[in-house]
Amino acid sequence: MSQRFYSTKSPDQFVDIKEAVLRSLPADNGLYMPESIERLGHGFWESWRDLSLADIGVHVAKAIFRDSIPADELEKITRESANFPAPLVTVKEKAHVLELFHGPTLAFKDFGARFMARLMGWLTRDDDGLLTVLVATSGDTGGAVASAFHGIPGTRVIILYPKGKVSGLQEKQLTTLGGNITALEITGTFDDCQRLVKSAFLKREMSENLNLTSANSINISRLVPQSFYYFEAAKNLPEGVKPTFVIPSGNFGNLTAGLLAEKLGLEVEHFVAATNRNDVVPEYLREGEYRPRPSVATISNAMDVGAPSNFARLEEIFGYEWEAMKARVAGYAYGDKITRETIRRIKSETDYTLEPHGAIGWLAAEAWRESHPEAHTVVLETAHPSKFLDVMEEELGAGEVEIPGRLACLADRQKSAIQMGTKEGEFHDWLSSIRE
């Protein structure tokens, strides 16, 4: 049987995997969800603790996508995407960290982007012409998407980034790959980049001619591989211990993936969502009112989100009942000052290096263990500290953070980007000119 997908706004209309993945966002502005998610079978639970991360991924992907993709192709896509480890580190008694930054661009987004790229490549294998992936980035997403699609046959990626507003190494991640990856350096803000991307999708003819698709984080195919590592963490805890997952959150895709893992049968003690000052969801959990608002800038900038895009999925999962969500998910929020103090304190107490997003998770985990002393908390460390070198060096001193070779080596690479203004006309003309 194939899996079908519905929009959270039209639960009785279904699309197939190709439509859900390539369209990303339904026309009614809802979000795609799988029609049914069932508990993994006996065979899996008999041996899951002995399986590798990729083996677990093969079972999970099959349970979600079913026969929408031939089993051998799905297995190949899964193994090629989850091909780096997600180690669980016990930093203090009952205080664990799940390191999700061992992929090519040093953030958890590699899991989702690599899976999506390969899946899109497969779904369009017999189509005429190239699939053109458009993505606007303020930093992390663009790098993960560029690296994931680099060399995938039948695809090309166009990344729009704001000139002077991404870090030097982040810019190199976007502009040095070449091949099927093109970077546009926009003399404007991230919002301008996002507006330009949207304007291209609204031009129906252009969108169809270029076979445009989006790689944004609400794509259902990015969430599925993010549920793999919840099983990986749980299997590495002592037998009988149920994890409390603490998730540094922005658009809440990672938390949604954890809830997906639970629906597949993983036993989880509790979920804790941790945010910076952009605390729309913790506020909702506390007060029952959802008030999206413009984001404010913080040092944990990948979580500077004022209107979390996956909130619609959280509501759907909890049947639009505040009490139900509140009973399963706790929310905590922290400012920059205490985040910085925590990076210093944990380094000196334990010698473990947390970056700003993970430090916010650590604070929430401490708060949770305070009121639940039996809990084993697992903080998802979403990026490598070297991606936030300025903050890290301010707190820990210069040279204290090791820069992994795959990031350091970008420094000497030649940047190649096309300069462009913020006018839609200019962007559309350029897009029309690249048609083969």
Tell me which of 57, 104, 188, 248 binds ligand PLP, using CB under 6 A. 248
Tell me which H or E stretch contains 379. Answer: strand 376-381
Residue 140 binds to ligand PLP (criterion: CB under 6 A): yes
User: Nearest to residue 120, comparing CAs of 213, 14, 255?
Assistant: 213
Residue 304 binds to ligand PLP (criterion: CB under 6 A): no
Least distance CB 307 / ligand PLP (angstroms):
12
Residue 250 binds to ligand PLP (criterion: CB under 6 A): yes
Locate tokens 């839609």: which residue?
424
Tell me which of 253, 258, 331, 385 binds ligand PLP, using CB under 6 A. 253
Closer residue to ligand PLP (CB): 68 or 298: 298
Tell me which of 173, 249, 295, 353 binds ligand PLP, using CB under 6 A. 249
Least distance CB 150 / ligand PLP (angstroms):
19
Least distance CB 384 / ligand PLP (angstroms):
9
Residue 380: phi and psi, rounded to 5, are -80, 115
Angle (CA) 366 372 376, round 5°:
70
Q: Which of residues 166-205 bind ligand PLP (CB under 6 A)?
A: none
Closer residue to ligand PLP (CB): 4 or 357: 357
Closer residue to ligand PLP (CB): 37 or 257: 257
Closer residue to ligand PLP (CB): 172 or 357: 357
Q: Which of residues 203-232 bind ligand PLP (CB under 6 A)?
A: 217
Closer residue to ligand PLP (CB): 170 or 211: 170
Least distance CB 329 / ligand PLP (angstroms):
13
Q: Which residues pair with 420 in a beta bridge?
A: 186
Would you state the torsion angle of the CA atoms of residues 358, 360, 361, 367, taken in this order, to the nearest 10 degrees?
150
Tell me which of 230, 252, 271, 368 binds ligand PLP, using CB under 6 A. 252
Identify each DSSP E strand in 120-222 by its residue range: 131-136, 155-162, 181-186, 212-214
Print burial letters for 345-370: b (CB count within 10 Å at least 16), e (below 16).
ebbeeeeebbbbbbbbbbbbbbbbbe
Residue 357 binds to ligand PLP (criterion: CB under 6 A): yes
Least distance CB 355 / ligand PLP (angstroms):
7
Q: What are the angstrom distances between the C-alpha of 98 and each of 160, 312, 371?
A: 31, 26, 22
Least distance CB 209 / ligand PLP (angstroms):
31
For 287-312, the DSSP string reads HS----------SSGGG--SS-TTHH
Print burial letters for 88-122: b (CB count within 10 Å at least 16), e (below 16).
beebbebbbbbbbbebbbbbbbbbbbbbbbbbbbb
Least distance CB 279 / ligand PLP (angstroms):
13
Closer residue to ligand PLP (CB): 14 or 318: 318
Residue 303 binds to ligand PLP (criterion: CB under 6 A): yes
Q: Which residues contact 295 (CB under 8 A, 6 or more apart)?
A: 278, 304, 305, 306
How many residues lie near ligand PLP (CB under 6 A)?
A: 16
User: Nearest to residue 273, comparing CAs of 180, 134, 382?
Assistant: 382
Closer residue to ligand PLP (CB): 34 or 250: 250
Taking residue 17's Cβ as centre, other Cβ atoms within 10 Å add up to: 22
Q: Which residues contact 175 (CB under 8 A, 6 or more apart)?
A: 183, 185, 415, 416, 417
Q: Which of residues 254-273 bind ligand PLP (CB under 6 A)?
A: 254
Residue 6: phi and psi, rounded to 5, are -120, 160
Least distance CB 410 / ligand PLP (angstroms):
18
Find out whether 112 and 222 touch, Cβ atoms under 8 Å. Answer: yes
Closer residue to ligand PLP (CB): 77 or 302: 302
Least distance CB 436 / ligand PLP (angstroms):
33
Footprint on this chain of ligand PLP (rule: CB under 6 A) = 107, 109, 140, 217, 248-254, 302-303, 357, 382-383
